[in-house]
Amino acid sequence: MSSVTKLNCPTCKTQVEWTDKFPFRPFCCQRCQQIDFGGWAQESFAIKGAALLDPEVMDSDQLAQELLNAGMIDPDLLDS
């Protein structure tokens, strides 16, 4: 007999089994999943650490170069 992993829902702390019985795992239900997603969308949650690209501490040329290197902007959009 295999043991089923159990954990608490991150939102409401209800115990959740890591099985198909809880399709929104690690959340107990879609409502708790959406509450958590809303927190991330409203920036209520954050991952610790400095922003990788912080426009407030980079000059525009430096920021443009970093975005170019990351493939996030089209090089044809930059002035020569």
Q: Are 10 and 26 in contact (CB under 8 A)?
A: yes
C-alpha closest to that of 37 among 10, 7, 18, 5: 10
29 is in an annotated binding site: no
Known binding residue 32? Answer is yes
Residue 9 is labelled as binding a ligand? yes
Known binding-site positions: 9, 12, 28, 32
Known binding-site positions for Zn(2+): 9, 12, 28, 32
